[in-house]
Structures are given as structure tokens and as C-alpha cells.
Amino acid sequence: MNAYVTGQTIKSLRESKKMTQAMLAEKLSVSDKAISKWETGKGFPDITMIEPLAAALSVSVAELINGNTVNNKNKSANMLRTSFYVCPVCGNIITSTGNALISCCGVTLYPLEAEEGEYEDGISIERIENEHFVQIKNPMTKEHYVSFVSYITSDRVQTVKLYPEGNASCRFPVCGRGYIFYYCNRHGLMKTKV
């Protein structure tokens, strides 16, 4: 009986929906005494009742059976929730729009916290026709450089990878309001509103 719905699960899901036993019984066309027996462990719902019970409690069958509900707080995708991860070994850039366990080169990575504003070298963002021209004042040496620049709006992420001894500038097509993120190997992740 390990892989079957428990009375405690039924009760907690029912109570979280603010339903009485009678209300749940009515939805399932069973008696409230049947619901009481299920919740006290004196009986189990018939296998044919599992799908209707899950539907009545607004959970999947898997959630009902294992007793853990899945809460998806990101019901509508929003790219502004993007998190950045940078591998300290190879410099790989990874993004995620939700919680994730990320590793690269055998190292567990944690999302970078962006500081708002500008760091000491400064950034300039100029709109030229339908593009944002981004220029960051950075020496771009092998010891001190900007690794990437990203333009994030609510519906897209555009990223340009930069390399040491190159130019710390790039262009992005204008897509609306959002943020420019840039990552310096010395100062970390910075962001600025556009």
C-alpha cells in the first residue's frame, strides 16, 4: 500500500481547498461517510475513484498518490526572472528562468546576484535608430574583462559573449523596456535599466 493515496493526503488537500467532507462527497457522488472512512484510514477509495478524486482536489494523480503537490509559481513565463550562472573553470554562461540545480566542470553553480547601477569603469547605452549600442569602459585584458552582455525584456533574452583583448561593446535590437546585464570577472554581475 506504499504507492496508494493516504487518508492524511486526502484530508490535507480537501482542507486546503476549504471543502467539507460533504462538499467533496457531492463532487464524487459518494457519501460523506465514505470520505470520512478514507481520511481516517478505515477504508480506501476504489481504484476507479482515483482520477475523479484527484480532479476534485485539483491535483494530478501522481501528486495525490505521493502526497506532495507541485506549486508552479511561474505560471506565466517572464524572462525578467532570468538567473545567470558563470562557471569559474571554463567561463561557460548558463541562464535559467526558474529554480535549477546547475553544475559545470564538476562545480555546483549558484545564481549570480546583480548589483544595480554602474561599476567604476562605467557603461554607456546609446539608442541609434532601432538598436541599443552598449559600450563598457573596461581594459579587456586577460586579468580584467567583461565576459558577456545581455539585454532582457519580458519576452526575450539576447546575450553577446565578449572576450579578453576584444572590444567591450555590442548592439541589440530595441525590444522594449528591460535591463542590460553585464558580467565583469572582477566586479561580478551588474544591471542597468533601459
pLDDT in tens, 33-62: 999 999 998 888 888 888 888 888 888 787
In whole angstroms, give the CA distance from residue 142 to residue 104.
Answer: 21
pTM of the model: 0.59
* Nearest C-alpha neighbor of 175 from the set 160, 148, 194: 194
Q: What is the pLDDT of residue 119?
A: 57
Q: What is the pLDDT of residue 133?
A: 95
Mean of all residue pLDDT scores within the chain: 86
**Amino acid making up residue 183:** Y
- Per-residue pLDDT, averaged over 135-154, amounts to 92
